[in-house]
A and B are shown apart, each in its own frame.
Chain A
Amino acid sequence: MIELHGVTKKYANQTAVDNLSLTIYEGEITVIIGPSGCGKTTTLRMINRLINPTSGSIKVEGRDIKDTNVESLRRGIGYVIQNVGLFPHMTVARNIATVPRLMGWSKEDRLKRVLELLDLVGLNPEDYKDKFPAQLSGGEAQRIGVARALAANPPILLMDEPFGAVDPLNREVLQGEFLKIQKKLKKTVVFVTHDLDEAIRMADRILVMKEGQVVQYDSPEEILSHPADNFVRDFVGTNRALKRLSRFSVEESYRKVSPVTEEAILDKKMIKSLEKSEFLWVVDYKQMIKGWVQAEYSEMNKRISEVMTIVPYNELGVHIDDSLKEALSKMLAQGVRTLPVIEKSGHLLGEIGLDDIQRRSGKE
C-alpha cells in the first residue's frame, strides 16, 4: 500500500503536484492518466524519491519514505520507463540481474532468477541471455525492462509509460502479457500513461489528474459510465462502449464448438449446425485449425476437403488472450460475424460471434 498525504511539488514558478492525497491499494494496477504536464510522472517519481516533494509525506507499506535509505527504498521498488534504459554495455542477463547484484545475491541465484524471468516474459532464456540491448527489437527490449524491474521480486512496480515507445500492435500484445503476469504475481503497480485505451484495459483503478490535482479516482467502469465532470467526459470521449470492450478478454466470452476433420463427409447434423452458425471449423487430428466450411458451399454427402476453405492458422481467428475490442476489429476487417478462437499454437478452442460481444458490452 502506498499513501500520499498532502503531497505538493513546486518548481520555480509552477506547481507540478498540488496537495495530493490518495491511497494506492495493494495488489492492484493503479493507472495515473492525464494530459501532459498534469503531474502524473512527477507523482510517480516521488514514490521512489527520484523527485523529493516540496511538502507532504509519502508512506510505502506504512513507513515514511523520508526515513528510509534512498537506495534500499529503490531496490525494493521495480522501475520501468518508456525508453527502457537498458544498459548498452551489459548483456541481457547482466541487465536483468542488476538489482540482485546490488543486493549481493550469489552468482547461481542470479543466473537462476534471470532464466526464470526470461521465461516469465516469454523470451527463450538460452537465445536471449547473452544478447546485448542493441540486438533487441523494441518489444523485446521492453520485455527485458519488465523482467529487470521484477528481478529482486519487489512488491511494488512503478511503470512510466512502459509501452509508449512500442508500435500499437506490439503494445496490445505487451499489455496482454503484462496482465497475465500480474494475475500471477499480484504486484502493487503504479502505471503512468496518456493513452486512455491502455488505462481502461490495464487498470483496476484509474486516477485522472489535471494541473497537479485529482479529478477522479475510480474503477474504469465508473470512469466510463459516470465521469466526474466535463473534463473527464471529454477525456474519455464518446465511444465509451467500444472502450469498455478492451477490458474483457475473449476467454470470458467464447463458445465451445464441435469441429470436423477434412476426411469427414457432410451429414445432416453438420448442415443443421451450419444453419445456426456461420462456419463449420475444420481441424486435423491434433485439433489444429485448418480452415472452414461455409453454408453456401456445403452440400450433403460431399467430403469436407472438397468444400472447405484452407487458411494458414496464423491469419485466422483471435487468440484466447485478445480483448473483445481486438476481436471486434478483426471481425470488421474480415467482414465476418464469427471468428474461431485459437491458442497461439493453432489449437482450436471454440468460436466467438458478434452477438457474444454485443451481449458483453451491453451488460455492464
Chain B
Amino acid sequence: MKFLLGVTGKIVLVSFLLVLGVLFLSPVLMERFLSGLFPSLTEVVYPRATLLQMSGEHLLLVAVSSVFAIGIGLSGGILVTRKWGVEFLPVVQDLSSLVQTFPPVAVLALTVPLVGFGFTPAVIALVLYSILPVLNNTITGLNSVPFDIRDAARGMGMSPLQVLVKIELPIAVPVILGGVRTSVIINVGTATLGSIVGAGGLGAPIVSGLVRNNNAFVFQGALATAVLALTIDRIFAWMEKK
C-alpha cells in the first residue's frame, strides 16, 4: 500500500510538473489557460518578460546567494567546532539567529541606501536570511561524530585537517546537506522579494499583479516559484538518497 502510494504520488507529481513545463514553454497555451482561470481580466500574461527569463533571473539570485550562504555557514560551523574556535560558538549562534529574526524586507530597506538598487542588495538579504540552517546543521553534524572515531583518527596519525576532511565532514554530510536543502528552498521563496529592489526574478509578476490588482500575474509568479521550489527539493531528495 505504502509502495503504491509512493508510486502514484510520484506519477502525480511528475505529470503535474510536465503540464506546468508545457505551459511555461508555450506562451499561447499559457494565455489560454490563464484566460480560462481569470475570465474577467483583459491582460492575463505578464508582458515585460517571459516566465522562462524570470525563472532564469530567479535561479541566478538563488544560486549566488546560496553559494555565499553555504560558504559562510559551513566555514562558521567548522570554525566553532574546532578546539580553538569553541569560544566563538555562542557568539556565532546568537548572531545568526538574530539575523534570522530580521525580516528580509527590512534588510532590503537598509542595504539599498548603501549599495544601490539591483542584484546586490537582494543577494545580501538572501545570504543573511539563509545562513542559519547551514550553520546549525554543520555544527550539529560535526558534533555528532563520536569521540571514539575522532580519537582513533588522531591516534593513527591524521593531522587535524585530515581528520576534518577525511573523517568528520564525510560523516556529517547527510546532516549538512539537510541544512543546505532547507536554506536553498527558503531562498527560492524569499527571492521573490528581490523584484522590489529591481533584481527581477519571479517576484516581478507578483509585485506588479498586486499593484495593478491583476490576480493572473500574481498567480503565474507564485505558481512558477512553487514549481521551482518543488523541483529543487526533489533534486536534493534524490542527492540525499545517493
Contacts and interface: CB of A to CB of B under 8 A. Distances in A.
29 contacts: A48-B155, A50-B151, A73-B157, A74-B154, A74-B155, A74-B157, A75-B157, A79-B152, A79-B155, A79-B156, A81-B151, A81-B152, A82-B148, A83-B146, A83-B148, A84-B148, A84-B152, A85-B146, A85-B153, A86-B149, A86-B152, A87-B149, A87-B152, A88-B149, A98-B158, A99-B156, A102-B157, A148-B156, A149-B156
A85 B152 contact: yes
B167 A81 contact: no
Contacts, number: 57
| Top 5 A-B pairs, shortest CB-CB distance | A85-B152, A75-B157, A74-B157, A79-B155, A85-B148
Interface residues of B, number: 16
Contact of B171 (A76, A79, A88, A148): A88
A260 to B, nearest CB: 53
B56 to A, nearest CB: 37
Looking at chain B's contact residues, is the secondary structure mostly helix, strand, loop, or mixed?
A: helix
A137 B158 CA distance: 26
Interface of A: 48, 50, 71-76, 79, 81-89, 98-99, 102, 148-149, 158
A333 B64 CA distance: 73
A223 B154 CA distance: 35
Contact of A81 (B148, B157, B170): B148
A87 B148 CA distance: 10
A135 to B, nearest CB: 17
A258 to B, nearest CB: 51
Contacts of B153: 85, 87, 98
A149 B156 CA distance: 8
A178 to B, nearest CB: 18
Given A84-B148, A85-B152, A71 B171 contact: no
A73 B157 CA distance: 7
B213 interface: no
Contacts of A158: 155
B162 to A, nearest CB: 7
B159 interface: yes
A80 B171 CA distance: 21
A298 B75 CA distance: 82
A85 B162 CA distance: 16
Interface in B142-176: 146, 148-149, 151-159, 162, 167, 170-171
Contacts of B149: 85-88
Most central of A81, A99, A148 by chain B CB within 10 Å: A81
Interface in B165-219: 167, 170-171
A82 B154 CA distance: 15
A98 B154 CA distance: 11
Nearest to B169: A89
B48 to A, nearest CB: 50
Contacts of B151: 50, 81, 85
B14 to A, nearest CB: 32
B156 to A, nearest CB: 5
A75 B159 CA distance: 11
A82 B152 CA distance: 10
Nearest to A88: B171
A60 to B, nearest CB: 14
B157 A71 contact: yes
B162 A102 contact: yes
A48 B155 CA distance: 7
A170 B158 CA distance: 31
Contact of A98 (B156, B170, B171): B156
Contacts of A48: 155
Contacts of A148: 156
Contacts of A79: 152, 155-156
Nearest to A73: B157
Given A81-B148, A84-B148, A89 B155 contact: no
A89 B159 contact: no
Nearest to B159: A71
A87 B170 CA distance: 10
Most central of A73, A87, A99, A149 by chain B CB within 10 Å: A87
Given A74-B155, A79-B155, A102-B162, 13 more contacts: A50-B155, A71-B157, A71-B159, A74-B157, A75-B156, A79-B156, A81-B152, A83-B148, A85-B148, A85-B153, A88-B171, A98-B153, A102-B158
A81 B151 CA distance: 9
A89 B171 contact: yes
A87 B157 contact: no
B170 to A, nearest CB: 5
A288 to B, nearest CB: 42
A85 B163 CA distance: 13
Nearest to A50: B155
Contacts of B146: 83, 85
A95 to B, nearest CB: 9
Contacts of A89: 170-171
A34 B146 CA distance: 26
B69 to A, nearest CB: 25
